[in-house]
Structure 1
Amino acid sequence: MAYQTLQQEYLQIPVVTRAYTTACVLTTAAVQLEIITPFQLYFNPDLILRNYQVMMKCMYRYCRMLEEGSFRGRTADFVFMFLFGGLLMTIFGTFVSLVFLGQAFTIMLVYVWSRRNPNVRMNFFGLLNFQAPFLPWVLMGFSLLLGNSIIVDLLGIAVGHVYFFLEDVFPNQPGGGRWLKTPSIIKMLFDTPEEDANYNPLPEERPGGFAWGEGQRLGG
């Protein structure tokens, strides 16, 4: 019975978030079980041991809220954001000699969500209150306290800002236009005309839900 409940909850996670979260968990498990070596994935075990829990929760939570919120019914556009962000991050990463970009990708997701939800109030470990757009910078400060390089976080913020600007800001400016267009092949592969009747989205206005932070909309 418990297995069926867990399976049902797992299948209710939107497809892109489910695939990405599963890949992250399986990859980490394979490294820890020494099925593959960290060097095969340019993986940093020390970074993961110190930062794994917070970043994994961030990745799952904000990836899911994006897919269920502003990308609801736009799976192809969400996949295209992954591809665009991953490509840009890889290009930028070569100039700063970064070989592990998973944390930067998570920060990118957080950045896009935070800019699209500017009125959400956040709480960090019950000590710090701020609005959502400051969340990536707070996470960068947390990373700095752990002794990690902030270059990874800055890369994620930079790529997230490029995507947000091209997708949300520039098209609404006088003389602006939409430069990011999801290729038709991706739309054909990922967009479906019908909604899943059993779909159970997480409310985008509740970005907390785990130990380090909670949020609520202003005036709510």
Structure 2
Amino acid sequence: MSGPEAAPAVGLKMAYQSLQQEYLQIPLVTRAYTTACVLTTAAVQLEIITPFQLYFNPELIFKHYQVWRLITNFLFFGTVGFNFLFNMIFLYRYCRMLEEGSFRGRTADFVFMFLFGGFLMTIFGLFVNLVFLGQAFTIMLVYIWSRRNPYVRMNFFGLLNFQAPFLPWVLMGFSLLLGNSIIVDLLGIAVGHIYYFLEDVFPNQPGGGRLLRTPNILKVVFDIPEEDPNYNPLPEDRPGGFNWGEGQRLGG
């Protein structure tokens, strides 16, 4: 094929390569989790699977050994619509900023945070009537990022201006306005605060120490030495292009 007929094919190939390159530049954990969420939703939309095969059900998990529900209930955010897109944007944005910021070069620690947060939410899920925990997990990521960036000014839909630590509570208020249960948001905030306290607060108190230690097996699997030891990582609050939850440092 040559001439004008080849131009569309070449253009498509270049667009595909560019898209592939951008996709592969997303940090490992963010890429894996976001992709799993999108593929799970696509599978439900195409009726390959149903939400009834994914939701959190202790009886089915522990009595009928449907252990995959321990994972799949974190991957489904509902059918494609505003709520799904809203959650995906926040999940991708704050998960990536954490992984490229305070967890840069510490992928194993980031994976351990995922496992610790998921474990706590599963335990709490036994006592509350929640069948999908993905939104709570997103709020946990937002909470941890916000506490580690307390002086970042946020703008929410161009209507509210506030500092980063208030972002999880603003999201909870927005969820309440949409008629959703705030139990999900409170669970995410609670688990996020537990991790933040154990990891960032308690070790720096008199008599305190680190209680959360990443297993060596995770470090062997996930931690790869930086190619350039003098690399200066981007700050976590770099602009993301979205008007909701966009950050700017005070005095900037």
TM-score normalised according to structure 1 size: 0.93
Query: Contact 1:80–1:182 at 8 Å: present in 2 too?
Result: yes
Name the counterpart of 2:37: 24
**Which of 58, 73, 86 is equivalent to 2:118?**
86
Q: What do the CA deviations read for 1:107-146 (whole angstroms, capped 9, x no partner)?
A: 0000000000001000001000000000000111111111
Matched, 1:127 2:140: no
Give 1:196 deviation, angstroms: 8.0
**Which of 67, 71, 78 is equivalent to 2:99?**
67
1:44 to 1:108, Cα distance in 2 relative to 1, 3 A: closer
Matched, 1:151 2:164: no
Give 1:212 deviation, angstroms: 2.2
Give 1:52 deviation, angstroms: 1.1
Between Structure 1 and Structure 2, how many residues are aligned?
Answer: 218
Give 1:50 deviation, angstroms: 4.5
Query: Contact 1:61–1:207 at 8 Å: present in 2 too?
Result: no
Query: Contact 2:44–2:51 at 8 Å: present in 1 too?
Result: yes
Query: Contact 1:76–1:190 at 8 Å: present in 2 too?
Result: yes
Give 1:204 deviation, angstroms: 1.8
Give 1:193 deviation, angstroms: 1.7
Q: What do the CA deviations read for 1:10-36 (whole angstroms, capped 9, x no partner)?
A: 010110111011001101111111110
SS at match of 2:122: helix
Matches of 1:140 and 1:207 in 2, distance apart?
Answer: 23
Which structure 1 residue ranges, 5 or more long, are not aligned? none
Which structure 2 residue ranges, 5 or more long, are not aligned? 1-13, 56-75
Q: Give me the CA root mean square deviation.
A: 2.0
**Which of 206, 221, 241 is equivalent to 1:174?**
206
Give 1:211 deviation, angstroms: 3.7
Query: Contact 1:207–1:214 at 8 Å: present in 2 too?
Result: yes
Q: What do the CA deviations read for 1:76-101 (whole angstroms, capped 9, x no partner)?
A: 00000000000000001111121100
TM-score normalised according to structure 2 size: 0.82
Look at both structures and tell me which one has the larger radius of gyration over its CA atoms: 2
Larger RCO: Structure 1 or Structure 2 (Cα < 8 Å, ≥ 6 residues apart)?
1
1:196 to 1:21, Cα distance in 2 relative to 1, 3 A: farther
SS at match of 2:247: strand
Name the counterpart of 1:204: 236
